[in-house]
Homo-oligomer: A and B are copies of this chain.
Amino acid sequence: MSTIAPPIDPESDPRVKAVFDDIRETRGSDFINNLWPHLAFDPALLKEVWSEVKAVMATQSEIDPLTKEMIYMAVSIANACSYCVHSHTAAARTKGMTDGMYAELLRIVSLAGRTNHLANALQLPIDQVFDRSAGGAS
């Protein structure tokens, strides 16, 4: 159940087709996941979101592609975004995440969930050494 119906034939709009073509080429796959046709009701928004995703996730950079996906998964899990958890877990597997790495990610993410709740409960004062504005940590 979605809050907007995807267009029946989204690629009949050349602006949508251009984005979908770029998704297929960038990913080397014919599969277009549900996010994109649901954004196609507004081709400008579709293009903005895809451009940002491509620039951040599909461009070579200092952080390797699998690590990027695991960071993305971590945020999505914490934000309880069901769709994003599914799509980025699948993407991480495509980029090499083994079951062993997945189990480890679950340990890290759930431990962070635990200590986040502890620290928010205790309302801990920030250690002076963590403050970069004061030139503390190094």
Contact = CB atoms under 8 A, between A and B. Distances in A.
Taking the full assembly, how many copies of this chain does it contain? 6
A107 interface: yes
B112 A117 contact: yes
Nearest to A42: B103
Given A61-B104, A70-B71, A82 B114 contact: no
Interface of A: 1-6, 31, 33-35, 38-39, 41-42, 44-45, 48-49, 52-53, 56-57, 61-63, 67-68, 70-90, 93, 98-127, 129-135, 137
B3 A89 contact: yes
Nearest to A138: B93
B102 A4 contact: yes
Contacts of A116: 75-76, 79, 81, 84, 113
Nearest to A105: B71
Given A75-B75, A75-B112, A85-B3, A118 B137 contact: no
24 contacts: A2-B131, A3-B90, A3-B122, A31-B129, A34-B125, A35-B119, A35-B122, A39-B118, A42-B106, A44-B103, A48-B107, A72-B74, A72-B108, A72-B111, A73-B121, A74-B74, A75-B116, A78-B78, A81-B116, A82-B119, A84-B119, A87-B130, A110-B114, A113-B116
